[in-house]
Amino acid sequence: MAMFYMPVKVFEEKNAIQNHAKDIAALGTKALIVTGRHSAFANGSYDDLTATLDSEGIAHVVFNEVEENPSVKTIMKARDFGVAEHVDFVIGIGGGSPLDASKAIALMIKKADKDVDYLYKPDGDSVTLPIVAIPTTCGTGSEVTAVSVLTDTDKMVKKSIPHKIFADLALLDGKYLTGAPRKVLCNTAFDALTHLIESYLNSKATDYSRMCVDAGLKTWAKSLPVIRGEREADETDLLNMLRASMMAGMAIAHTATTIPHGLSYAVTTHLGVPHGMATAYFTAGYLTAAPESDRKYLLETAGFASVSDFRKTYHASCGEIQADETRLREVLDVAVAELAGNPAKMALAPFAVDAETVRRIAYFELEN
């Protein structure tokens, strides 16, 4: 059996926020805007949103304290703020961190009588306040996934909450990527690429999820010269990068991610490596472990001649992990142990995976 479910209403266009003021206003009477401290204010998305809300007579307050890799403490702080302000819907603006956070915050405001443990309650219902997602980076595709990845800073653990939470409305406008630092574009673009690869190389893959992968890879490849630094990004490139990220999100919404993402969390948590850079670090090893025909299709469709070409592009655009080898090996061992202890994640690989396979994938970059 194959199933395709995508409940998010997505609009992709120039001035998407302004053009869909009525759709936003239909979701409530007072919005909690969830974002980070800087980018939404610098790229114009916050100003566009607040002007649009004002034009529709929708009250709004802002919580702008979402950090990279949002913590459960931040979620609860925002929840308390939203409850005190009597908001009735949530709007997330930014990259994956604010968008993931907005889902968890919308859940916990709806569950105002619950404590922090509810975030990871496996049998709790996932009913939330309505959510609008406005992505301003081109990596996570969180605007069309049901995933919210949070970090427990006390336990030094980063993982998805069990609740499946889709936004009601997603508004995509490539202009908000204008001015983004090249490093941010590259790191997030590689995150989108790993989503596509992991969704394809996945035991849950179907013809429908692979339809999204194929379209996403072909769209992603159009901006590969930008990622390689061969030319500056123009308006079309930025839209293609945002669109590829969204397609990748649609793909993993149906399959989830696999080995590279599972290994990446320890590297991000313990070494502070940006998420996209961390996931891509393990992708060459994952591709090498995959069947040759699948590897050839994925690389060539994305615009790469070989695994070596992928690695060269990745290192040139995203840089190197800043840690001495001893410390890096320590963290890689943690990553391997965490993933080996997660049989459900390992089972998502479409080929046989044991602890030794995971170790080879984890150490591929370091030892090749």
Please write down the HEC assignment for all residues of the chain: CCCCCCCCEEEECCCHHHHCHHHHHCCCCEEEEECCCCHHHHCCHHHHHHHHHHHCCCEEEEECCCCCCCEHHHHHHHHHHHHHCCCCEEEEEECHHHHHHHHHHHHHHHCCCCCHHHHHCCCCCCCCCCEEEEECCCCCCHHHCCCCEEEECCCCEEEECCCCCCCCEEEECHHHHCCCCHHHHHHHHHHHHHHHHHHHCCCCCCHHHHHHHHHHHHHHHCCHHHHCCCCCCCHHHHHHHHHHHHHHHHHHHHHCCCHHHHHHHHHHHHHCCCHHHHHHHCHHHHHHHCCHHHHHHHHHHHCCCCHHHHHHHHHHHHCCCCCCHHHHHHHHHHHHHHHHCCHHHHCCCCCCCCHHHHHHHHHHHHHC
In this prediction, residues 315-330 reach a mean pLDDT of: 95
Mean pLDDT of the chain: 96
What is the value of pTM for the model shown? 0.95
**Confidence class for position 131, pLDDT limits 50, 70, 90:** very high
If you average pLDDT over residues 85-114, what whole number do you get? 97
| pLDDT for position 179 | 86
pLDDT beyond 90 at 1: no
Query: What CATH class does 9-176 carry?
Result: alpha beta
Mean pLDDT over residues 167-180, rounded?
95
Amino acid at 244: A
**What are the extents of the domains in the chain?**
9-176, 181-367
Stretch 160-188: mean pLDDT: 95
Tell me: pLDDT of 142 over 90.
yes
Q: Which CATH architecture has domain 181-367?
A: Up-down Bundle (1.20)
The pair of structure tokens assigned to 89 is 């819907």
For the segment 28-63, what is each residue's pLDDT rounded down to a tens digit?
Answer: 999 999 999 999 999 999 999 999 999 999 999 999
Band (157; pLDDT cuts 50, 70, 90): confident
Check pLDDT > 80 for residue 275. Answer: yes
Average pLDDT over residues 305-323: 96
